[in-house]
């Protein structure tokens, strides 16, 4: 048997463990795979293959990434990359990558799409993108491929042991509600009503994934959007202060998301849902930046205009040299140094970070 075939066999055996006669399922506490749904914070390059203005497949993006500008909206790794390292799951292929097929999708797929949101119309100002419902449909496409690689019982065990990561909602504010010149939602809905609509739509797609066989869900909240360079660049707040209104509407969404996690855990036995407190974790980094090794907290390492946040990284622009001291990479996204911290907190953080369990605990359930 060739080396390649042996590797394929080892990979397949690690993912699939048949149910024994005693009824014992998968032998180790690790996840069988990781399926990721989200936006530009965790997009690994899906938008490279779309007709979109929201792309990061050019220098200086990826300046610290082994593959260079892959389409990740960062100088290096995303939260998902670091979480995969902690879980010993290889880098996930982007759904649109031509090689994301067959055995290459056995350890999972990343469906995240820059500018995509919970609402279908979110991000339409930036061109093509995969909304959350599109991403769920893309998972169904991959599910058909997985069905051809294992029998029904194996597939059921495999899906039940897979980790689902959902990080959505930021664009529904940045590229929808907070853009009154393009979208009417800010006029039509109060912040509370808008948050209700988002969570209702979110719930529908989460349950759609559950109906397809997935059982372990880690749902990340929205971070403090009022503190990102793009919001600071509006000049609506004094220097050194975040935009209070933006953070307040985001908190309304997050509060409802926590309630949703409680509701889902109560109503759907056999599944586990966890909330990732991105807002709290990120705010902690901002408020204790020096303890984390950061010296620049209010502007992008790469960008143009006030706070380097009015225009994001332009092709071939020169980023800051001391990137590990910056919290923000560009107008919207954190540096890989922050991504690593957030991934560690999602993996093993206390209940204040991950409620009611963290990713490491979820793997053992």
pLDDT in tens, 201-243: 999 999 999 999 999 999 999 999 999 999 999 877 888 899 9
Based on the residue annotation, tell me whether 64 is a catalytic residue of this protein. Answer: no
More confident residue, 239 or 158: 158
**For the chain, what is the radius of gyration of the CA atoms?**
20
Is residue 13's pLDDT more than 90?
A: no
Q: What is this structure's pTM? A: 0.91
Give the pLDDT mean for 180-200: 97
Q: What is the mean pLDDT of residues 184-200?
A: 97
28: pLDDT confidence band, cut at 50, 70 and 90?
Answer: very low
What is the CATH code of the structural domain delimited by 31-363? 3.40.50.1110
Catalytic status, residue 284: no
Average pLDDT over residues 20-37: 63
Catalytic site includes residue 8: no
Q: Which of 32, 52, 172, 333 is catalytic?
A: 333
Q: What is the pLDDT of residue 26?
A: 37
Instruction: Note the pLDDT tens digit of each residue in 276-333.
Output: 999 999 999 999 999 999 999 999 999 988 888 888 999 999 999 999 999 999 999 9
Query: Distance between CA atoms of 170 and 168, rounded to whole angstroms?
Result: 6
CA distances from 331 to 17, 212, 234 (A): 45, 36, 12
Alpha helices (H) along 70-151: 79-87, 132-147
* Contact in structure between 70 and 45 (CB atoms under 8 Å): yes
**pLDDT of 120 above 80:** yes
Q: Are 199 and 256 in contact (CB under 8 A)?
A: yes
pLDDT at 87 over 80: yes
Cα separation, 71 vs 49, in Å, equals: 10
Q: How many CB atoms lie within 10 A of CB 190?
A: 11
Which secondary structure element, helix H or strand E, spans residue 239, and what is its range? none
Structural domain boundaries in the chain: 31-363
The beta strands (E) that lie in the chain are given as: 34-38, 108-110, 163-167, 216-220, 272-276, 296-300, 326-328, 354-355
- Region 183-188 average pLDDT: 96
Catalytic residue among 40, 52, 113, 170: 40
**Exactly one of 39, 64, 172, 330 is catalytic; which is it?**
330
């Amino acid at each position: 048997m060739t080396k390649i075939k042996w590797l394929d066999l080892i990979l397949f055996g690690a993912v699939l463990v048949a149910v024994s006669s005693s009824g014992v399922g998968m032998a180790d506490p690790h996840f069988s795979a990781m399926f990721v749904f989200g936006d530009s914070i965790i997009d690994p390059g899906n938008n490279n293959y779309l007709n979109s203005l929201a792309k990061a497949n050019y220098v200086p993006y990826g300046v610290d990434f082994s593959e260079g500008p892959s389409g990740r909206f960062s100088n290096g790794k995303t939260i998902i990359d670091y979480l995969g390292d902690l879980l010993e799951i290889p880098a996930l292929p982007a759904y649109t990558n031509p090689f994301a097929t067959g055995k290459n999708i056995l350890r999972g797929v990343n469906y995240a799409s820059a500018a995509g949101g919970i609402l279908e119309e979110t991000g339409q100002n930036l061109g093509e993108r995969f909304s959350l419902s599109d991403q769920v449909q893309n998972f169904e496409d991959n599910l058909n491929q997985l069905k051809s690689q294992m029998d029904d019982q194996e597939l059921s065990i495999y899906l039940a042991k897979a980790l689902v990561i959902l990080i959505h909602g930021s664009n529904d504010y940045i590229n929808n509600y907070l853009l009154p010149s393009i979208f009417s939602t800010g006029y039509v809905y109060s912040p509370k009503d808008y948050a209700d609509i988002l969570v209702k739509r979110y719930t529908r797609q989460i349950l759609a994934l559950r109906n397809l066989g997935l059982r372990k869900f880690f749902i990340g909240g929205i971070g403090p959007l009022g503190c990102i360079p793009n919001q600071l660049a509006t000049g609506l707040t004094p220097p050194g202060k975040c935009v209070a209104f933006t953070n307040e509407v985001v908190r309304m969404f997050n509060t409802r998301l926590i309630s949703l996690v409680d509701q889902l855990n109560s109503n759907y036995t056999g599944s586990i849902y966890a909330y990732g407190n991105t807002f709290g974790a990120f705010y902690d980094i901002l408020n204790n930046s020096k303890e984390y090794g950061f010296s620049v907290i209010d502007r992008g390492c790469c960008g143009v205009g006030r706070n380097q946040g009015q225009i994001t990284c332009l092709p071939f622009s020169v980023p800051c040299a001391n990137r590990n001291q910056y919290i923000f990479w560009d107008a919207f996204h954190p540096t890989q140094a922050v991504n690593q911290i957030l991934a560690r907190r999602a993996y093993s953080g206390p209940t204040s970070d991950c409620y009611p369990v963290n990713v490491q605990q979820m793997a053992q359930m």
